Amino acid sequence: MGFGIVLPLLPFYASRFGASGIQVGLLITVYSAAQLFLAPLWGRWSDRVGRRPILILGLMGSALSYLVFAYAGSLAILFLSRIMAGAGGATVPVAQAYIADITPPERRAGNLGLIGVAFGLGFIFGPALGGVLALVSTQAPGLVAAALCFGNGILALLLLPESLPPTKRASRAMDRRESALRHLRIALLDPRTSRILLLFFLFTVAFAAMQPTFPLFGAIRFGLEERHVGYLFAFLGMISAIVQGGLVRKLVPVLGETRLIQLSSLPFIAGLLTIGFATGVGFLLVGLALLALGFGGSLPSMTSLLSRVAPPQLQGSVLGVGQSVGSLARIVGPLLAGILFDFSGIAWPYFGGAVVAAAAFMVALSLRPPDDSSSPTAGIVS
pLDDT grade for 334, boundaries at 50, 70 and 90: confident
Question: Which residue type sits at 226?
Answer: E
- For 44-55, write each residue's pLDDT tens digit: 888 888 899 999
Mark 249-259 as b/e (b = at least 16 C-beta within 10 Å): bebbeebbbbb
- pLDDT, position 202: 94
pLDDT grade for 312, boundaries at 50, 70 and 90: low
Residue 245 pLDDT greater than 50, yes or no = yes
Question: Which residue type sits at 313?
Answer: Q
Question: Which residue type sits at 13?
Answer: Y
Question: Torsions phi, psi of 102, nearest 5?
Answer: -110, 10
- pLDDT, position 203: 93
Collapse the DSSP code of 104 into the 3-class scheme (helix H, G, I; strand E, B; otherwise coil) and give the result: coil
Domains and CATH numbers, the chain: 2-164+184-369 (1.20.1250.20)
Helices (H), ranges, 137-176:
140-159, 170-173
What average pLDDT does the structure give for the chain?
83
- pLDDT, position 170: 62
Collapse the DSSP code of 113 into the 3-class scheme (helix H, G, I; strand E, B; otherwise coil) and give the result: helix
100 CB neighbour count, 10 Å cutoff = 28
Residue 264 pLDDT greater than 80, yes or no = yes
CA distances from 213 to 167, 176, 177, 268, 293 (A): 47, 46, 43, 18, 21
Helices 348-364 and 191-208: angle between axes, nearest 10 degrees = 160
- For 71-105, write each residue's pLDDT tens digit: 988 888 999 999 999 899 888 888 888 888 888 87
- pLDDT, position 284: 93
Q: DSSP code of 142?
A: H
- pLDDT, position 23: 81
Weakest-pLDDT range from 13-27, 86-100, 166-180:
166-180
